[in-house]
Amino acid sequence: MALHKPVMTVQQHILLEQKRFPGASGEFSFLLSGITLATKMIQAQVRRAGLTDLLGSYGETNVQGEVQQKLDVYANEALLDNLRVRESVGVLASEENERPLMVHGSSPNAKYAVIFDPLDGSSNIDVNVSVGTTFSILKRAEGSSLDDSSSWLLQPGSQQVAAGYVVYGSSTMMVYTVGNGVHGFTLDPAVGAYVLSHENIRMPAQGPYYSTNEAYRDTFPRADQEYIERLRTGKLGRNYSSRYIGSMIADFHRTLLKGGVFLYPPTSTSPDGKLRLLYEANPVAMIAEEAGGAAWSGSQRILDIVPKTIHQRTALAVGGQVEMDEYKRCLAEFGEA
Ligand code: P6P
């Protein structure tokens, strides 16, 4: 009887996947290894935050006007430091940085832009709630100029070559796609490797949960209010339970695995929606669609939105086919947001 159970690490998986990219000479897997290394460093700090002086606010506000948590700054630096040494990376854009960084824009090998939210939901860290890192990878658009980062970044989400997230929850798990299915890897702390644990994740066509911040419900657009009423009153042929963690990646991860819908519609305080298009909605939308679900703003498919600015916000509804078909019906009946 074999004692050693073969494992598939995320690095092995990425190498196999990148064979699908013509001309990828290991640079793509080297790029993704920068993200996996950075997220291992981040998780090591997240897990010990109460024991170090990394809890609490950093005392500055970021471009979003949000008070930066110390762990936000640490996570951002870990990702920037690990990715800027990958020559295939031309541009780095982060939720924590007002402007993108041109890192190897002048190198002919610089093909990719990496956009990320280093620690989404960080306001929950002090109370030990799951947080996450999101990332989106775009290929430099043909003819884009080497020193104009917007031509690298302001592409619709349908142009992403890869997207994913790490959820720092009861376990640390990386979920990613390169357009060939969605795969989940659980970090094995004993060996420090992300090991394949959820191959080819499929989002259930319908699920048991809806997830939104009901405190704002009265300020949602009419279509979203009607939609939630239909979920609550069994109009989709089943009862729903409400789950809301207040950390997008945790709420989305549950929706991906168990089904249902997560939505953050426009509100009176966030009339364009709160979530950011490039590094929250787009990666989540690519994963959702790859897993058989759908992701919409209040008016269109998320992946069709052509961004105007790198930090622009969007409404987001993401879930299984049944929930999302009903959402689109509500938009059609009650007008788009
Ligand atoms: P609210 C976290 O701050 C975040 O950006 C997302 O992770 C989360 O889904 C949302 O905000 C929660 O916002 O208004 O419900 O507290």
Token duo for residue 112: 């990719």
Instruction: Quote the distance between the C-alpha of residue 244 and its chain's center.
Output: 17
Q: Which of 274, 277, 280 to mutate to test the pocket of ligand 1 (most atoms within 8 A of CB)?
A: 274
Q: How far apart are CA 265 and CA 211, in angstroms?
A: 11
Ligand 1 mean position to 248 CA, how many Å?
Answer: 6
State the pLDDT at residue 23. 66
Note whether 122 and 46 are within 8 A (CB). Answer: no
Q: Locate tokens 């094995």: which residue?
A: 188
pLDDT at residue number 232: 97
Phi-psi region for residue 72, left (φ > 0), alpha (ψ -120 to 50) or beta?
alpha
Tens-place pLDDT, residues 209-265: 999 999 999 999 999 999 999 999 999 999 999 999 999 999 999 999 999 999 999
Mean pLDDT of 62-66: 71
Q: From CA 90, how far away is CA 101, in angstroms rounded? A: 8
Between helix 27-46 and helix 10-18 the angle, nearest 10°, is 150
pLDDT at 17: 85
Which residue has its alpha carbon closest to ligand 1 atom 14?
Answer: 213
Residues forming a β-bridge with 106: none
What CA–CA distance (Å, rounded) separates 103 from 229? 48
Nearest CA-CA partner of 250 in 209, 290, 286: 209
Among 123, 131, 247, name the best residue to mutate to test ligand 1's pocket (greatest count of ligand atoms within 8 A of Cβ): 247
The pLDDT of residue 53 is: 67
Kindly give the distance from the C-alpha atom of residue 165 to the centroid of ligand 1, in angstroms, as a whole number. 16
Closest-lying ligand 1 atom to the alpha carbon of residue 249: 7
The answer on whether 117 is annotated among ligand-binding residues is: yes
β-bridge pairing 261-264 and 241-242 = unpaired
Q: How many angstroms separate the CA atoms of 206 and 171, rounded?
A: 25
Averaged pLDDT for residues 60-78: 81
Angle at CA 133, nearest 5°, toward 131 and 139? 160
In this prediction, residue 6 carries a pLDDT of: 83
pLDDT in the model for residue 92: 96
Which pair of tokens denotes residue 4? Answer: 């050693």
Cα–Cα nearest to 280, from 179, 175, 137, 135: 135
Give Cα separations from 329 to 46, 167, 228, 230, 324 (angstroms). Answer: 41, 32, 13, 11, 9
Q: How far is the CA of 146 from the centre of ligand 1 (A)?
A: 35
pLDDT value at residue 55: 67
What is the DSSP secondary-structure string of 74-140? HHHHHHHHHHHT-TTEEEEEETT-SS-EESSTTSTT--EEEEEEEEETGGGGGGT--EEEEEEEEEP
Share of the chain above pLDDT 90, in %: 74
CA distance 337 to 315: 9
- pLDDT, one tens digit per residue, over 266-304 is 999 999 999 999 999 999 999 999 999 999 998 899 999
pLDDT of residue 33: 92
- Which residue's entry shows tokens 């824009």? 105
**DSSP H/E element including 325:** helix 321-334
* 120 assigned binding-site residue: yes
Please report the domains of the chain, with CATH numbers, ordered by start residue. 10-198 (3.30.540.10), 209-333 (3.40.190.80)
Q: Is 115 in the pocket of ligand 1 (CB under 6 A)?
A: no
